[in-house]
Amino acid sequence: MHTNPVHRAPAPAAPHLGGLGLFTVLLGAALPLIDFFIVNVALPSIEHDLAAGPALLELVVGGYGVAYAVLLVLGGRVGDSLGRRRLFLVGMAAFGITSLACGLAPNAWTLVAARVAQGAASALMLPQVLATIQATTEGPRRARAMSLYGATGGLSMVAGQILGGVLVAADLGGTGWRAVFLVNVPVVVLGLVLAVRTVPDTRAGRPAAVDVPGTLLLALSLVSLLLPLTEGRAAGWPLWTWVSLGVFPVAAAAFYATERRADRLDRTPLVPPSLLRLESLRRGLALLVPFSVGFSGFMFVLAVTFQQGLGMGPVTAGLALVPMAVTFFGAALAGPRLVSRFGSRTVTAGCVIQAAGIALLLATLRHGWPDLTVAVLAPGVALAGLGQGLQQPVLMRLMLSDVPADRAGVGGGVMITAQQSALALGVATLGSLFLALVPTAGLRAAVSSTLLVQLGLIALSVLLSLRLPRMR
């Protein structure tokens, strides 16, 4: 008896992220990091134009960073559930609207509110970038995409200060400091047009409900740590800052206990403890924190030293960082080939090279002060950038290498939250140390002491890098 063959519908093709789509999501990754740093060089102009005191200026910087860090993991979870492309588009559109609000702010408090909203928009957009890369690439393509993501992150931090200096000095159409925010609007419009056409939609196979207790406790933990450290120095360390710091360990312990209990009851915690049991993620996070603390502190101290200590204008101070950007990008692109040959020891080598660059820059500042040019500073700055470029992209690839695809948004959110919190912590701690030393010891001694502390952080990074899982 003849039977008709059963015709099955072909399985849907896996989503694929093309070259233009990768460019688009990397553009979305660059914007939040650029805006974390771009405002630094505009603060004197904002202070003059809006009559903002030091405490309000700290909130312009810190309000963005705290909102950004607090909501990142939640942004990753919501993207896993509702669709990463949708959240990417919503976050990018909100980033453009809040950037416009920052650029048009009539007073300091309006600017602070708009910056907080801008940080929240960034937290919706950024986790979708890593999750989309994880879900739409594999093998060598994923390794290259992750290297480009790491390079974009490092370059964005350097480019933020370069671009900020150029825009403030150019005073386009008489906009002054407002241009550092308004420039985002046409970039966002371009990003939205490209994203609609080139970014595939992905989501987790088993969407999870939002963990409300975990979200609130994580927010309390991060706010109680980052807000007083960011605002305390400018406000004169009032009582509320110490009370807030006392709340932090209690809130952090309660968050961990809540997440463990949710995991045991087979619920879906915001940060699953099982995710932190992944050796690659756990050990990578341990190294990412001192790296990011040192990176942001280094960038802040250099910005102040170049302009106030060496008398550079904002554009010249930005040009002095170009060698760092060039070597960072080159090292990041070479990362996949180096990892295939040397594995995670590439990170160790990056730590050593970065330390050599910081030591060279320290010697240059101590012996040539204050008659230093961009060319004289370039070798130390370039060497430090080379070492940083061998660390960050490789670390990010390593941390997400074992995260399951359906948890890509959460994994990316955890990693970026740790990075963002450490960046804010670096400015608050190393920056405060530097500014506290300036009145008594002088600027040269202050920058020397701060760079010595960073060398200690790099020594810690070397030790931690030796414990990273070997990767090929």
The pLDDT of residue 305 is 85
How long a stretch of residues is the chain? 472
Residues of the chain by 3-state class (helix, strand, coil), percent to 5: 80, 0, 20
Q: Report the pLDDT value the prediction gives residue 149, as an integer from 0 to 100.
A: 82
Q: pLDDT tens digit string along 292-340?
A: 888 888 888 887 788 778 888 777 877 888 888 889 888 888 877 888 8
More confident call, 63 vs 205: 63
Report if pTM > 0.85: no
| Spatial distance between the Cα atoms of 445 and 203, rounded to a whole number of angstroms | 52
What does the pLDDT look like over 185-195, one tens digit per residue?
999 999 999 99
Token representation of residue 136: 């739409």
pLDDT at 10: 46
Q: Residue 166 pLDDT more than 70? A: yes
Measured CA angle at 452 (ends 449, 455), to 5 deg? 160
pLDDT at 99 (0 to 100): 95
pLDDT tens digits, one per residue of 391-447: 888 888 788 777 776 676 677 778 888 888 888 788 778 887 888 888 888 888 888
pLDDT band for 168, please (50, 70, 90 cuts). confident
* Residue among 24, 10, 101 at smallest CA distance from 64: 101
Under 8 Å between Cβ of 342 and 349: yes
Q: What is the pLDDT of residue 13?
A: 55
CA distance 110 to 112: 5
The per-residue pLDDT for 9 is 45
User: Quick one: tokens of 451?
Assistant: 């760079």
pLDDT band at 11 (very low <50, low <70, confident <90, very high): very low
Distance CA 310, CA 304 (A): 9
Q: Quick one: 367 exposed, middle or buried, by C-beta within 10 A (0-12, 13-18, 19+)?
A: exposed
**CA–CA gap between residue 306 and residue 285 (Å, rounded):** 31
Find out whether 384 and 357 touch, Cβ atoms under 8 Å. yes
pLDDT at position 4? 53
For the chain, give the percent of residues with pLDDT over 70.
94
Exposed/middle/buried for residue 297 (C-beta within 10 Å: 0-12, 13-18, 19+): buried
Model confidence at 254, pLDDT cuts 50, 70, 90, reads: very high
List Cβ neighbours of 9 (8 Å cut-off, separation of 6 or more).
Answer: none
Q: What is the CA radius of gyration of the chain?
A: 22
> Which residue's entry shows tokens 């979870």?
77
Q: Quickly tell me which residue has 């985002």 as its tokens.
A: 184
Which pLDDT does position 192 carry in this prediction?
95
The CA–CA distances, whole Å, from 90 to 85, 93, 136, 195, 320 equal 9, 5, 20, 11, 36
> So what's the pLDDT on residue 227?
82
**pLDDT for the residue numbered 416:** 81
Extract the tokens encoding 160: 């933020």
pLDDT for res 457:
92
C-alpha separations of 435 from 53, 304, 424 in Å: 16, 9, 16
What is d(CA 22, CA 20) in angstroms, rounded to the nearest whole number?
A: 5
More confident residue, 203 or 457: 457
Rounded to the nearest integer, the mean pLDDT of the chain is 84
Cα–Cα distance, 86 to 252 (Å, whole number)? 31
- Residue 358 in contact with residue 384, Cβ under 8 Å? yes
Q: What is the pLDDT of residue 409?
A: 67
DSSP string for 295-353: HHHHHHHHHHIIIIIS---HHHHHHTTHHHHHHHHHHHHHHHHHHHHHTTHHHHHHHHH
Tokens of 292: 């990011």
For residues 112 and 55, the answer to whether their CB atoms sit within 8 Å is no
Structure confidence at residue 153 as a pLDDT band (50, 70, 90) = confident
